[in-house]
Amino acid sequence: MRRWFVLTLVLLLTACGGGAATPVTPTQAPPTKVRVGLDWTPNTNHTGLYVAQDKGYYAQQGLEVEILGAQEGGTVEQLVAAGRLDFGISYQEGVTQARVEGVPIVSIAAIIQHNTSGFASRVEEGITSPRDFIGKKYGAFGSPIEEAVIRGLLECAGVGDQFNQVKFVDIGSSDFFVATERDEVDFVWIFKGWTGIEAEVRGVPLNIVMMNDVQCIPDYYTPVLITSEKLIAEQPDLVRRFLAATSAGYRFAIEQPAEAAAILLKAAPELDAELVRRSQQYLAGQYQAEAPRWGEQKLEVWRAYAQWMADRNLIARMIEPEKAFTNAFLP
């Protein structure tokens, strides 16, 4: 009886309207706008973000993501903590230092599983181990951690008492190739997946003393994806949706590095295409490495590196490492 009444009412209303009833389209909630801050200019560390954007993974999660370069008014860590950015690209050292200073940020994914940095020099310098740093000029970029790392490598090699024979030359953000070609410096701290690959593209033979090959300094995550404690507490579903899409982007980059490189180049056409393609191929094996899933982080990695920093007075106190990161939002 009730269905008959409703149907009769609809027919009457249609007739009174003088024509066919206008169909009603269900309303869809507008996408949630999200701002992500990069740590530097676009490069293959960031490819998963651009893939997730290009392939519609963010849209599928109801997100409209804006990927931003370096911002004025503070570091990525500070801007994320202040809510001016929802997410950002940082590194374990930066997160650790921020938390010591009371900046409430949390690492929610390791973009690369292991430290892929090392100390690079042109082959003719003959630098193949930390012992060879003695009497050489190091191109410093101005971080207090550089002295601690080089001192630690020398101590591990049994020549820590000769640390003062390494000359630190401030080169800021100068190009590795220009600085070494001009003989301003002999060796520089680089990431193998970018500057190391660029050397191959340029045909410049390098020796790279990889940090994890020497195994004197604890392994650490660099870079990492961060957000604020506030966003985690107030919008956990947003964090979960963002990571679901971002994880899919990085898995795509792992499985299809050539297409992922093309997507990054479309977003950042100013990059050297051959460098991006080779770097992407290299990082395809580094993003997840042996971890059970992309983004996974280990407590022992956070604890060991923070303790190393504390032991060398790089931070004023030891942090609570279990609060510095979380795997809870990874798919």
CA pair distance 295, 225, nearest whole angstrom: 9
Q: Which amino acid is present at 46?
A: H
| Chain segment 86-113, per-residue pLDDT in tens | 999 999 999 999 999 999 999 999 999 9
- Predicted confidence at residue 276, as pLDDT, reads 98
Average pLDDT, the chain: 91
Confidence grade of residue 4 (pLDDT, cut at 50, 70, 90) = very low
CA pair distance 42, 64, nearest whole angstrom: 19
- Predicted confidence at residue 71, as pLDDT, reads 80
Are the CB atoms for 185 and 171 separated by under 8 Å?
yes
Question: Cα 276–59–193 angle (5° rounding)?
Answer: 20
> How confident is the model over 110-128, as a mean pLDDT?
98
**pLDDT over 70 at 18, yes or no:** no
- Whether the model clears a pTM of 0.75, i.e. scores above it, the answer is yes
Q: List Cβ<8 Å contacts ≥24 apart for 174-181.
A: 174/139, 176/120, 176/139, 177/202, 177/204, 179/139, 180/121, 180/122, 180/139
Q: Which residue, among 294, 315, 270, 284, has the nearest Cα to 100 in the 3D structure?
A: 315
Q: Which run of H or E residues covers position 245? A: helix 236-255
